[in-house]
Amino acid sequence: MGGIFKAYDIRGIYPADIDEETAYKVGRAFVAFTKAKKVLLGQDARKSSPALATAVIKGITDQGADVTDIGLVTTPMIKMMQQHLSYEAALQVTASHNPKEYGGMKLFGQAAGQITDQHGLLDIEELIDKGKFPAPEQQGAITKKDVMQAYTDLLAKHVTQDLTRLHVIADASNGPAGKVCESLFPKINIQYSALNFEPDGDFPGHDPNPLKGGAQKQAATAVVEQGADFACIFDADADRAVFVDEQGKPIPRGNIAAAIAQDYLEQEPKAKIIYDVISSHIVKEAVEQAGGTPIVNRTGAAFMMHRMATEGAIFGAEDSGHYFYRDT
């Protein structure tokens, strides 16, 4: 498939590497592999995503599964709603933080476990290469559903502290995170100022990766000018976040991970915390000092999620700005 099947997702330059024909075949192979009867599907704000989503939906329904299309959503949103709504499988059309020329997909099986090269992605690629799919029992149906309010209601239930004193700069990187912030922040009484909230696949604000393209400098300027407490910058599908403090200085990602881990360990002493191999030593030391069990793992969001499930960990973090929560 031209090298578009990676360790834990499918991605390539659109339409040279990945196009509608490929997406259609992925849809069919995805259903054939998972044997799912219903699939939850979303997409990011990339220019290529609507066309790829239409094609993959046709592939899924031609293979006999029903699709619930929840439209423009973040990757964490589709994972959480898959669990909450009890879908056997989910698929997010996204190329995550990659440049705007890229298109792609992330695939999820039972219990929102991401399908990786170690858990079925190569089998799906093989099905596509062979070009032979099992005969479907029926044609699948398509339903559209707006789950934003339900999702942010779930998130809001986890907020137990008074946040009214905070003023936050939120940068959505022209991805779907802005829609989530607009729905969630009023529910948790947090004052915020928006940066790059308009979904735009050209990513005019800055690079879709918040670690590149001046994203932190833009947020830092806003924090200082507005006297905000901090800034949070999401990547293009909102599964990464980086932070800038009240002085406009980047907060080391290891410090964020350590602080969150210690907070969790106050609630559940001796709990397991997963961190990746390139994380700062600060994370391991903070977990040990708080009485928890630090466990190092291979870098990669999907691998972190699988390890968390295997170990029964309460929290996980990668140095790239991925944070993983048992309850979400």
Give me the active site residues, please. 96
Asked if 316 and 307 touch (Cβ cutoff 8 Å), the reply is yes
Asked if 139 and 61 touch (Cβ cutoff 8 Å), the reply is yes
3-class secondary-structure state, position 40: strand
For every residue of 81-137, DSSP letters joined together read HHHHHT-SEEEEE--TTS-TTEEEEEEE-GGGPBP-TTTTHHHHHHHHHHT--PPPS
| Identity of the residue numbered 175 | G
In this structure, what are the phi and psi dihedrals at residue 61, rounded to the nearest 5 degrees? -70, -35
Break the chain down into helix, strand, coil percent, rounded to 5: 35, 20, 40
Cα separation, 131 vs 126, whole angstroms = 9
Q: Could you tell me which residues come within 8 angstroms of residue 176 by beta carbon, excluding any fewer than 6 positions away?
A: 44, 45, 72, 73, 74, 77, 199, 237, 238
Cα separation, 93 vs 43, whole angstroms = 4
What spatial distance separates the first Cα and last Cα of the chain, rounded to whole Å? 33
Pairing of strands 102-108, 167-171: unpaired
Return the structure tokens found at 87: 């879908």
Residue in this structure with the two tokens 């330059």, named with its chain if needed:
13
